Each structure stands twice: as structure tokens, then as C-alpha cells.
Amino acid sequence: LRYTRPGTSRPQISQVTRRRFLVAGVSAAISGIALAKGSAVVRAGSGRPGTDLAGEPLMEPPIRSSSGGLLQTSLEARTVSHQVGGRNVLSNVYERMFPAPTLHVRPGDTVKLHLSNQLEDITNLHLHGFHVSPSGNSDNVLLHIHPGESFDYEYHIPADHPAGLYWYHPHFHGLTTPQVFGGMAGAIIVEGDIDQIPGIEGARERLLLLHAIQLKGDSPIAFFDRNQVNFLRTVNGQLNPTFTIQPGETQRLRIANVSDSTWFWLKLDGHRMHQIAKDGNTYKRLVPRDDILIAPAERVEVLIQGGAPGSYSLRSLPFDQGFAVLPETVLATMVSQGSPVASAPLPSSLIPFNDLSKATVDRRRVITWQVLPRDDPQRANFLINNKLFDEDRVDIIPLLNSTEEWVLQNPSNVFHPFHIHINPFQTISVNGKPVDANSYEDTVSIPPRGEVVIRTRFLDFTGKFVFHCHILPHEDGGMMSVVDVVAPNDPLASTAVNAEGTNAQLLNSLRGNLFTCPVASSS
């Protein structure tokens, strides 16, 4: 195998699994899951998923709440047999379950989290969407927690942290895909101001974690071959679970895409979804939607009001990801039943945000997301500005408290969901069309052969963190970059390190992309 990580001194302990998985990212039919040797495997006795089990009540993960300003908890990562869609599946999970427990915290809280790595590979932890320090034992994804090791994370959540839906997952480069694909994911709910808005306050809440996993025939082993069409799309690990609502009742659905690489294009038959939040950031106003496209790692919160008595499907509509056309599927069934209640008025204006479209931009950068030709199937070939990820190289050095505009260019034929850690951003335009943003967000899809402009402010925290594509096989394949935010008086502040430059040259060098479609010339 030729894949190497130039300039790194990473321990080689996981090299075999890492290499095997990187190959899986660019070729077919290779298992990506590191299995515990000798694990007891329990055969599923329940027959074919999606038939006999459709209709079972929606179950939600157990909740662990902070109290007195502190959440002290632990997560054990282990390869175990657990339930997905009524079948036993052997894969990597936290706390022997999928989804992992839901953490409830409040702005100003401290979270002390003991991570125990009982996998056979390196792992670590990321609090996706959190505005906390990226350094030390906080949200530091450059840490390597080796097999058999434990680590004590400590996060100090700012008192003004936005309230909403976040999630946690592993983030060790090269192995994020198999770990998330197997089911290492859980929700974090920050309680706060949004919960007190009339029309939202008191509404029954449901958490829906959307995931996709593939099983190899009748084997209970999670199996990754990129053939998305064969993925089982689950809600809280269930196939087509049922939840109820009373006619007229308002419910609040908190929905997160915790899959490694699958889009969900949501539609609820007979109902509008009234969106109130995106990526943990409350909308400035309620936005009614007939359907919502949710990229990997994105979260939405919606209010729904129960219609006339009957059963309604929550569907994922057919969607062309660029590398696979996902067929329509029923994710869950909502049953409207019981005594009708008078519908409470829905809120209109919600929580305003500091609009960066009128802000002074201190620096503008162009960042290009590239899929290189498949001439060498064993080579990682997902790049940002012509570079593979290297945790020991800093690509961008923003100044603390500065405002930057990034032009995210995608010359490839596939979507790349851009995600940056620590600070959320505002989407300014998509393919040249201005966007009237409803909130900040932490993940946005860059369309194939398209361009997204975002603005962000690097507030409160210096230190190194990353931005990357949230199609995790792309991230593991190299599509990630290191940012180091420095104070203006830091000697690094004068370093001319940036990610601008050679796009035209690079585009000329592209001959195709991973999925054999020709790359369009840059526009």
C-alpha cells in the first residue's frame, strides 16, 4: 500500500486497520470495521429487518443530565453486539448501545467526561458544533487515545453558548469512518433560551438520530462497501419506528444526521415542518418547509402539529449524492390519534443573530475541495487546496477576534459538506446567489461544481482545530485541514501561512474524479 502520511510521527499501532479502511474508501467490498477477535456473535433471530419490526414504538437513548453546573460521565468505546433494526450487529459503539446516551447540559456548565478506549484502534472524541476550547483536554481532536487507554476530557461551556442540538463522535483521522459507521455517536442537548419561547416551551420533544449502516447478508457484522443503496437507514437504530401525536398537538422534533456519509431528504406526509433551528443555532424566525435536506452531521429542529387521525410516513426522498442515488425509504411512521387539542399558535420571530453579511471582513481565503483521479485505487485522494491532511502542518492562521470570508470551491462532481470546529459560520451565498441566512450553522453542503461563501469570526479561543468534509470517507482520505487561531501579539501572527493560491493550476491538473466522471473546468 502506498498511502503514507508525509511529515507525521504518528505511532504505527493502527496502521493495518487504517490502511485497510483507506482502501475501502476508494474501492469496493472491503470491510471497514475493526472487529474484536473472539467476540461472541449472537445470531439475529428476528428474520428480515424492516418487515416484522416495522411499527415498534420509537425509542430514545438514555439521558445523562448535568446538575449544579456539572456533568460528570464516562463513555466506553467497545466493539460489541448491539441492536440495529431488531437485528444483532457487531460493531463499534459507546456504552454498548446505539445511539449512545444523550447528554443534557446548560450554558455555563462544565462537562467532565472519562473516555475509555476498549477498541483495538486509536480513537478520540469530538463535541460537534461546540464553541469551547480546542486545546488540551477540551475539544482537541488531534489527541490519540490508544487501545486500552483512558482519557479525561473537560469542557467549559461558555455562559452564552447557543442552546440546541449537538452531537458527539470520534474524530481520529483515518478511522473516523468505521467508528461512526459502526455507531459511535450520541446527541448532546444544550438547554436554554429557545426552550422558553412561547409555542416551543412545553411542546413534547422527540429526538431522531438518523443513521445508515450496512450488514453483510445475514451476517451481523457491520460492513462498509460504499454501496449506499444497500444501507439500512435507521432512526435511533430502528427501522420504521412509530410515534404518536394528538390531532392539533405541537411536537418538537430534534433531528440529527449521525451517519458517516448518507444524506436524508425528509418529508412528512400531510404535514409541514416548521423549522426553528439548524446545527444548534436557533433560527431568527420560524420557516415552514415541505421538505428538508440534511447532510451528514447537520441537525435541524422542527415543530409539527398533528393532522387528522391517521398514519403518516416520515420519508427520505430519492436523492442523488453524486456517487449514489438513494432510493426513497420510510424512516418512521407518525400516528395521529386520541383526543384532538386546539393548536397553539406557532411562534414567528425567534432569536436574532449578529448578521455577518454586513460585517467588515479582515481576510478572504479561497479553499478548494478536490477529488483526484482514481488512477491509483490505493491512494488517498481527497484534498483541500492540493494538500492531504497532515496534523503536523498548519494550513491557516487566523487572528483571534478577526472576521474572515471563505470562498469554498468544489470542482468535483460530488457534494462536500463543509464543517469547521469551534466557531459556527454564516452562509453568505451559494453558487453566487445571496443567502438570507436564518442562523449560523456549523455544516453546509458545497454543491458539485459549485461554490459556497461563508463568513466566520474566530472568537474566544486560540489554538489548533480542523475543518473538513463531513463525508467521513473523504475526511479519512485526506480532506481535512488544520487551523491555528493566534492572538495578534503571537509571533505566528506575522507568518504568511494561508490556504490561498494555486487553484487555477490545480484545476488544470485534475483529470477526473473518484467516480470516473470528468471534472468540469473551473468557472
Task: Catalog residues that contact Cu ion under the rule CB under 5 A.
Answer: 416, 469, 471, 474
Assess whether the previous peptide bond of 309 is cis (omega < 30° from 0): no
Cell digits of residue 85: 433494526
User: Min. distance of Cβ 261 from Cu ion in angstroms?
Assistant: 9
What is the torsion angle, in degrees rounded to the nearest 10, for the CA atoms of residue 380, residue 384, residue 390 and residue 391? -130
Q: How far is the CB of 471 from Cu ion (least distance, A)?
A: 4
In whole angstroms, what is the distance from residue 108 CA to residue 79 CA?
Answer: 34
Q: Which one, 85 or 478, has the nearer CB to Cu ion?
A: 478
CB-nearer residue toward Cu ion: 258 or 471:
471
Sheet of strand 110-117, all strands in order from the earlier edge strand to the far edge: 87-94, 70-84, 110-117, 150-156
Q: Which is nearer to Cu ion, 189 or 384 (CB)?
A: 384
Tell me whether residue 164 or residue 322 sits nearer to Cu ion (CB atom). Answer: 322
For residue 214, the Cα-to-chain-centroid distance in whole angstroms is 18
**Three state DSSP letters for 405-427:** EEEEEECCCCCEEEEECCCCEEE
Which of residues 397 and 469 has its CB atom nearest to Cu ion in the complex? Answer: 469
Q: Report, in Å, the least distance between residue 367 CB and Cu ion.
A: 13
Residue 14's Cα: distance from chain center in Å? 24
Cell digits of residue 200: 416551543
- Comparing CA positions, the residue from 302, 333, 306 lying closest to residue 165 is 302
8 Å CB contact between 305 and 342: no
| C-alpha cell recorded at residue 372 | 483526484
CB of 161 or CB of 474, closer to Cu ion: 474
258 vs 469 by CB, closer to Cu ion? 469
Contact 322, 226 (CB under 8 A): no
Distance CA(16)–CA(9), nearest Å, equals 16
Q: What is the DSSP string of 455-514?
A: EEE--S--EEEEEEESSHHHHHTT-EEEEEEB-TTSGGGG----S-S-HHHHHHH----T
Nearest to 457 by CA among 494, 419, 404, 414: 404
- Running DSSP on this structure, what letter comes out for residue 265? E
List C-alpha distances in Å: 17 to 220, 307, 313, 415.
Answer: 20, 50, 39, 27
Residue 348 cell numbers, joined: 414567528
User: What is the bridge-based pairing of β-strands 325-326 and 319-320?
Assistant: antiparallel
Cβ atoms of residues 462 and 432 within 8 Å: no
The smaller minimum CB distance to Cu ion, of residues 181 and 243, is found at: 181
Gyration radius from the chain CA atoms: 22
178 contact partners, CB below 8 Å, separation of at least 6 = 17, 21, 32, 33, 34, 92, 224
| Smaller CB separation from Cu ion, 302 or 469 | 469
Q: How far is the CB of 470 from Cu ion (least distance, A)?
A: 7
State the first-to-last Cα distance of the chain, in angstroms, to the nearest integer. Answer: 36
Question: Cell numbers 442515488 label which residue?
Answer: 325
Minimum CB separation from Cu ion for residue 126, in Å? 17
Decide whether 186 or 450 has the Cβ nearer to Cu ion.
Answer: 450
Report the residue number, 66 or 409, with the smaller CB distance to Cu ion. 409
Of 211 and 474, CB closest to Cu ion:
474
Region label for 236, one of left (φ > 0), alpha (ψ between -120 and 50) or beta (otherwise): left
Least gap, CB of 252 to Cu ion (angstroms): 31
